[in-house]
Chain A
């Protein structure tokens, strides 16, 4: 087997077209990887400047009403991992920044499944674009006639008479072409190591290794399929045409069709519907700006009883702050309810999309690529949840200051000190470790392995027959 493999590589290395194309792809890949790293660094730098600016604004804030400060708000930045430079995933649609403000929760009306084709791939030039679309094509063009050319010019007979088995011949072809993809993958990883080596945490390293394995498996699937079709059809043109057709269906048609189907089965509300329905639920609750609401009256009564006074003016605290926080908490409940159902819909969509990998390994690859790069829906939802958690603590601290910081009910002009605003902590997003998210991607790994095993078995089976060559 090793002799056939070495011979194939001799052929590649003595083929000027191969050398030219390989160099072109190597240089392009290095360039794109480097470009991705630079973009990422730029984004990190921009985020750092923005964070410092916001911190400065809070540190230098003039004494003012905490409620005004709540509307002044803050921002949550999704820290960019170096892996984002490989696959931008849904970040190109969702962005990396959230505005945090009193009464206003962020919404997620975004279907990863239905927009799976649009997201990232053709937006920005990232290594994922090359790994998912260009390198597989390159591998197909080298694999489609690797077997049929041996067969049509009679060398296959000579090889078989020399004692080589057809199975060894075809698998050697598969491995020799697969190695091309592996070399390109390794090149990209080396570039990452050279320029990002200092930022590689154990989690990033794990993700990078799994990302490498995922693409390596997918490349093997592509080469295996191409060689299998050439063994089955015994004709280069037929093998190439059918492989390209499958590639187009896998990468263009099926992701779109399955994405739309997933959204049909588990539809998401439109952004307007979602907001209206949130507002509707919210209006039924305590409105901090509507003193006549029933809930306000109940809260007022309870507060007066708690402090054993008859009038709001007699309270030792500022009832407005309590009212604001109660409104906020009701708003949180409304958000939790709507976000929960939305999350379930998104999860159901994602599940359908993941399962469809059984028909299309490209989908499993795409899911894993985004997941491992930390740029898929699960990672975005985690960011959203962490940002919302922080927003609640942040707004509560402002409302508490308003209520218990020394002002009394009716003192609208009361101002919190600069020391208080300086003490308000900013948001720090902790990227989840992949091991904590692993269970979400098991299905994608299993499906890719399923494709690998099935195609290998089929290739092995089809190459058992040496008659009629």
Chain B
């Protein structure tokens, strides 16, 4: 039955030349009668970095939790496809970076990364893990230090390494640059661009207009659970984007 559904969906996608990795159709989600998402429709194409801008409570984290399967929509449908255009809601193909990466304080950064890789059945050599941590901007002498001594930014870097180690086709990032210094934040942008160039699809929720403009190809503005505007970042400067965003928030 499941195989039949996958074949049919694949045929439909090819027939109509539908080309996206994430699709949210008319999503409604309320918490105690407070609307968190109101008829949200959103599509993210393969290789695209989609930035979701919005104020606190706009529905960014709710969208992320719906895509991660931690919440269920009241109505509407969520479609997540894998790199072969198969409907695949499995978490294995999703890399996730939360706003606050809380690691095991009794483990070092390297041990944390190793542990989360083992949980995902990923087999890496220690040198490979070290390399990954360094790529994510964690200084070499911090690799074997207990994460209880880490700053928020250092923990965030390990979180990024955990997500990258999955070599996923989709990355969901909830305020990933939170706590990162400008240099590390810039490095993160470069990493994400590199991933996208290899075909990964990225959906990133953020407050940081500048970082979103720098990193993403497409930007959606979320207000009170509704997608009120979509802009291609190549069409606007950071200042213009800020102006548009503020206008939408004020109106």
Cα-based distance from A4 to B119 in the complex (angstroms)? 8
Contacts of B119 in A (CB 8 A): 3-4, 159, 162-164
B104 A7 Cβ-Cβ under 8 A: yes
Contact A11 B91 (CB under 8 A): no
> Quick check: is B121 within 8 A (CB to CB) of the other chain?
yes
Chain A, 452-469, CB within 8 A of any chain B CB: 466-469
Within 8 Å of chain A (Cβ to Cβ): is B68?
Answer: yes
Please report the total number of A residues contacting B with Cβ < 8 Å: 22
User: Is B81's CB within 8 Å of the partner chain A?
Assistant: no
Known: A160-B91, A162-B119, A163-B119. A155 touches B71 (CB 8 A): no
Count A/B pairs, Cβ under 8 Å.
65
CA distance A155 to B158 in the complex (A): 13
Complex contact A163–B121 (CB within 8 A): yes
Closest B residue by C-beta to A164 = B119
Whether the Cβ atoms of A467 and B104 lie closer than 8 Å is no
Known A160-B91, A467-B70, A468-B70; contact A10-B118, beta-carbon cutoff 8 A: no
- Of B69, B101, B116, B166, most buried by chain A (CB within 10 Å of CB) is B116
CA distance A24 to B248 in the complex (A): 63
Q: Hey, which chain A residues are within 8 Å of B92, CB to CB? A: 163
Say whether, besides A4-B119, A467-B70, A155 and B96 are in contact (CB < 8 Å). no
Tell me, rounded to whole Å, the shortest Cβ–Cβ distance linking A348 to chain B: 54
Given contacts A468-B70, A468-B71, contact A157 B118 (CB under 8 A): no
> Which residues 101-115 of B have a CB within 8 angstroms of A?
101-104, 106-107, 111, 115
For window 427-469 of A, CB contacts with B under 8 Å fall at 466-469
B177: min CB distance to chain A, Å: 17
Take A3-B119, A7-B115 as given contacts and tell me if A161 and B68 are in contact as well, using a CB distance cutoff of 8 Å. yes
- Contact in complex: B120, A163 (CB < 8 Å): yes
B162 touches A158 (CB 8 A): yes
B25, CB-defined interface residue at 8 Å: no
A167 → B minimal CB distance (Å): 14
Distance of A161 Cα from B65 Cα, bound (Å): 11
Contact of A154 among B91, B100, B106 (CB under 8 A): B100
Q: Is the CB of A14 within 8 A of B96?
A: no
**B-side interface size class:** 20 to 34
Asked if B94 is at the interface (CB within 8 A of a chain A CB), the reply is yes
> Hey, which chain B residues are within 8 Å of A3, CB to CB?
115, 118-119
A155–B115 Cα gap in the complex (Å)? 12
Bound: A3/B107 CA distance, A: 14
CB of B98 closer than 8 Å to a CB of A:
yes
- Whether, in the assembled complex, B134 has its beta carbon less than 8 Å from a beta carbon of chain A, the answer is no
Q: Decide: A10 and B106 in contact? CB cutoff 8 A.
A: yes
Q: How far is the CA of A162 from the CA of B71 in the complex (A)?
A: 17
* A140-159 residues at the B interface, CB under 8 angstroms: 153-155, 157-159
Q: Are the C-beta atoms of A161 and B96 separated by less than 8 Å?
A: yes
Asked if B69 contacts A466 (CB within 8 A), the reply is yes
Given A11-B104, A153-B102, A158 and B70 touching (CB < 8 A)? no
Shortest C-beta distance, B72 to chain A (Å), equals 5
| Closest chain B residue to A8, Cβ basis | B104
B118: which A residues are within 8 A, CB to CB? 3
Beyond A10-B107, A11-B104, A154-B101, 8 extra complex contacts between A and B, CB < 8 Å: A15-B106, A154-B100, A155-B104, A158-B98, A159-B119, A161-B91, A162-B91, A164-B119
Instruction: List A residues at the B interface (Cβ < 8 Å).
Output: 3-4, 7, 10-11, 14-15, 153-155, 157-164, 466-469
B residues near A (Cβ < 8 Å) are 68-72, 91-92, 94-96, 98, 100-104, 106-107, 111, 115-116, 118-121, 159, 162, 166
